[in-house]
C-alpha cells in the first residue's frame, strides 16, 4: 500500500500522514483531549445550555435555555422526561432585558444544597450588554414551586463585561458567582450566602480572549482535589451544524484567579486547554455544567446535529491532574 501510494504522492508526505494517525491518540491523551461520544441518554433530550443537579432522593434535574426555562428529570441520568417550566406563566421582570414579552431565558445554573434548589439564570438578547442575572429558589425543583428572588446583577453598554451565563461555586461556605460573555471575558463576584446576591461591588477577572472577537463564555468553576478548574465555551454558538463551540479548561489553586492552561498560558491571556470539540457527528459541544456524582465528576453540555441541539453527558477523569472525557 505504501509503495503504491508513493507512486502518486511523495513518500515523505505519506509517511508523515501515517505517523500522524499513529500518534494522534497519544497527542489527545497528552493534552487532555479525548474524542469520545456522549453517553447514552434517552427520552426528551432536545436541550440548550443544560445545567444539572441532584436532589436528596437521587432524582436528577436538568434545566435549560427556553422561554420560562425548561425542566427535565431522570432517576438514572439516562432517561429524561420534560416536566414543565420554572416560570410557566412567564417572567415579566426579565422583559426589559430580553427586549420582548416572555422571551428566552438563558443558561440557567442549578445548585442543590440542604433541601433547597438555587437557580441563577440570565436575560438578554444576542450581542447586547443590556443583560441581567436573576435568582430563584425551590424546595422541589418542579414547575410551580419556584419563588422569584429578583435581580442579582446587570450590565449595560457602560460596562466592559456582560452579565450572562452565571455559575455558582460554594466553597467552604463562601459563595462565588462566575459570569460573562465576550467583551473582557469571564468575571467573578462574591455573593452573600444568606441573600444569594452580591456582598460587594468588586468584580474580578478570571479569563479573557482576543481571538475570534473575544469569544469566551459559559464559565464553570469546579473544585477537584487541590485545584479549581475553570471550564468555558470558546468560539461560536447557536448556529446549528455551523457552530464552532468547544469546551476549554484551565486550573488554579484559587477560585478567584491565577488560572493557567496545561501549557502554562494564563487564561487571562487567552489560554485554554481543549477538553471537547467537534468530532464525528457531534458538532459544537458547549454550554457546559459539572456535577460531582457517585461515580465521579459528570460533564453535561449541548451539541448540534442536523435535527437540533441535544444533551450530552460524559464522565470526566481527573487522574492526570487535567480533565479527560471518558
Q: Is the pLDDT of residue 61 over 80?
A: yes
Domain tally, the chain? 1
Q: Does residue 110 sit within a domain?
A: yes
Q: What average pLDDT score do residues 89-117 get?
A: 97
Residue 196 located in a structural domain:
yes
* H/E element, 109: strand 104-113
Q: What is the largest CA-CA distance in the chain?
A: 74
Q: Looking at the predicted structure, is the pLDDT value of residue 20 above 60?
A: no
Does 90 have pLDDT greater than 50?
yes
Q: For 105-109, what is the mean pLDDT?
A: 98
| Residue 187: HSE in the Cβ half-sphere, 13 Å Cα cutoff | 21
pLDDT tens digits along 159-193? 999 999 999 999 999 999 999 999 999 999 999 99
Neighbours of 132 (CB within 10 A): 21
Q: Is residue 37 included in any domain, yes or no?
A: no
15 domain-assigned: no
Q: Is residue 20 part of a domain?
A: no
pLDDT exceeds cutoff 60 at 285: yes
CA angle 61, 217, 80 (to 5 degrees): 20
Indicate whether 191 belongs to any domain: yes
With respect to residue 53, please indicate whether it lies within any of the assigned structural domains. yes
Contact 230, 221 (CB under 8 A): yes
* pLDDT tens per residue across span 304-325: 999 999 999 999 999 999 999 9
Q: The C-alpha cell of 153 is what?
A: 446583577
- Rounded to a whole number of angstroms, the distance between the first and last alpha carbons of the chain is 34
Q: Residue 35: pLDDT band by 50, 70, 90 thresholds?
A: confident
Q: How confident is the model at residue 33 (pLDDT cuts 50, 70, 90)?
A: low
> Range of 88's domain?
42-325
For the sheet containing 308-317, what is the strand order? 283-293, 296-305, 308-317, 324-325
Give the list of residues 6+ apart from residue 201 with CB closer than 8 angstroms, or none.
Answer: none
List active site positions: 49, 217
Contact 288, 297 (CB under 8 A): no
Q: Nearest-5° angle of CA 74, CA 79, CA 82?
A: 65
* Model confidence pLDDT, tens digit, residues 121-135: 999 999 999 999 999
What value does the mean pLDDT take over residues 195-214?
97
In this prediction, residues 51-73 reach a mean pLDDT of: 98
Q: How confident is the model at residue 34 (pLDDT cuts 50, 70, 90)?
A: low
Instruction: Specify if 241 maps to a domain.
Output: yes
CATH label of the domain that carries residue 308? 2.115.10.20
Cα–Cα separations (whole angstroms), residue 309 to 114, 299, 303 = 32, 16, 5
> Can you give the pLDDT at residue 5?
34
Phi, psi (degrees; rounded to nearest 5) at 72? -125, 145
The average confidence (pLDDT) of the chain is 91
In this predicted structure, the answer to whether residue 22 has a pLDDT above a threshold of 50 is: no
Q: Give the pTM.
A: 0.90
Amino acid at each position: 500500500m505504501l509503495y503504491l501510494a508513493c507512486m502518486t504522492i511523495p513518500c515523505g508526505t505519506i509517511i508523515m500522514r501515517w505517523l500522524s494517525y499513529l500518534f494522534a491518540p497519544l497527542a489527545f491523551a497528552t493534552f487532555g483531549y479525548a474524542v469520545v461520544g456522549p453517553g447514552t441518554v434517552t427520552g426528551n433530550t432536545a436541550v440548550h445550555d443544560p445545567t444539572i443537579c441532584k436532589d436528596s432522593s437521587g432524582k436528577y434535574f436538568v434545566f435549560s435555555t427556553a422561554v420560562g426555562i425548561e425542566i427535565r428529570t431522570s432517576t438514572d441520568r439516562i432517561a429524561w422526561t420534560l416536566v414543565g417550566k420554572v416560570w410557566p406563566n412567564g417572567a415579566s421582570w426579565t422583559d426589559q432585558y430580553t427586549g420582548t414579552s416572555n422571551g428566552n431565558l438563558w443558561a440557567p445554573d442549578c445548585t442543590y444544597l440542604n433541601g433547597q434548589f438555587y437557580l441563577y439564570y440570565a436575560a438578554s438578547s444576542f450581542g447586547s450588554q443590556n443583560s441581567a442575572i436573576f435568582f430563584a429558589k425551590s424546595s422541589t425543583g418542579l414547575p410551580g414551586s419556584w419563588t422569584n428572588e429578583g435581580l442579582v446583577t446587570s450590565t449595560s453598554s457602560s460596562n466592559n463585561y456582560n452579565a450572562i451565563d452565571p455559575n455558582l461555586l460554594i466553597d467552604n461556605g463562601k459563595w462565588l458567582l462566575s459570569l460573562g460573555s465576550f467583551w473582557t471575558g469571564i468575571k467573578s463576584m462574591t455573593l452573600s450566602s444568606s441573600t444569594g446576591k452580591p456582598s460587594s461591588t468588586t468584580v474580578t477577572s478570571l479569563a479573557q480572549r482576543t481571538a475570534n472577537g473575544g469569544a469566551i463564555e459559559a464559565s464553570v468553576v469546579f473544585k477537584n482535589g487541590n485545584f479549581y478548574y475553570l471550564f468555558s465555551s470558546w468560539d461560536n454558538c447557536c448556529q446549528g451544524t455551523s457552530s464552532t463551540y468547544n469546551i476549554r479548561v484551565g486550573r488554579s489553586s484559587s477560585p478567584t484567579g491565577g488560572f493557567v492552561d496545561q501549557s502554562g498560558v494564563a487564561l487571562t491571556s487567552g489560554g485554554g486547554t481543549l477538553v471537547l470539540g467537534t468530532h464525528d457527528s457531534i458538532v459544537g459541544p458547549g454550554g457546559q455544567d459539572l456535577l460531582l456524582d457517585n461515580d465521579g465528576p459528570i460533564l453535561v453540555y449541548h451539541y448540534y446535529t442536523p435535527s437540533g441541539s441535544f444533551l450530552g453527558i460524559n464522565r470526566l477523569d481527573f487522574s492526570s491532574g487535567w480533565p479527560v472525557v471518558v
